[in-house]
Chain A
């Protein structure tokens, strides 16, 4: 199984500042056949289901604010919130779908400083 590791486990950022969440996979999730990274990001608020933010490592889901961006390739990925808003307080998960079983990172809790 591909192991997904996120860092940090939690971070506190001031409103309007940048928040960066890292995700590392134990093996590459870049598929040579289509040159796509099989990596998604989700946001989960307390008491709610996860919500898809980003897929193919950098494609923003429809309706997701453009302050959210994904980057990286191969084994190292980043989710960036360019200007943290109060509604961004949540736990963020990365997920690889390169191979079965799909696996999630342990989550990163983002809070307001």
Chain B
């Protein structure tokens, strides 16, 4: 069965970097695009962008350019989200979410990774 398993919670100081992983199983990573979605504490869902897991080409939503990088490694069936120069307002749960085969809705989600940025 399809599963997306994300790396564990992170506590970081402002200015540090973090890399969140999303390991896919039950299907071939390169077959479906992978999205990243942010959920700040007590807030709704915000689409950050997506990565074409066939070509590696990323697309970033407005507000997620510069410090955010999507990458992937098909040899380990894993997508990554790296955030640099962390700020307290980056504190959130970050989800990877697989595009469905028929449209840009998300049929499988990782369990989420809480990134806390605090001094």
Contact = CB atoms under 8 A, between A and B. Distances in A.
A56 B44 CA distance: 21
Task: Give the interface centre of B47, B103, B112 by most chain A CB atoms within 10 Å.
Answer: B103
A14 interface: no
B109 A97 contact: no
Given A101-B61, A101-B62, A52 B107 contact: yes
Chain B, interface residues (CB within 8 Å), range: 20 to 34
A102 interface: yes
- Grouping DSSP codes into helix (H, G, I), strand (E, B) and loop, the A interface class, with mixed when no group exceeds half, is loop
B95 A49 contact: yes
Contacts, number: 52
B31 interface: no
Given A102-B47, A104-B44, A104-B45, A97 B105 contact: yes
A102 B104 CA distance: 8
Contacts of A88: none
Contacts of A104: 44-47
A76 interface: no
Interface of B: 44-47, 59, 61-62, 95, 97, 100, 102-107, 109-112
Interface of A: 38, 40, 42, 48-52, 55-56, 61, 93, 95, 97, 100-107
13 contacts: A40-B106, A42-B45, A48-B111, A50-B97, A51-B109, A52-B100, A52-B105, A55-B102, A55-B103, A56-B103, A97-B104, A101-B62, A104-B44
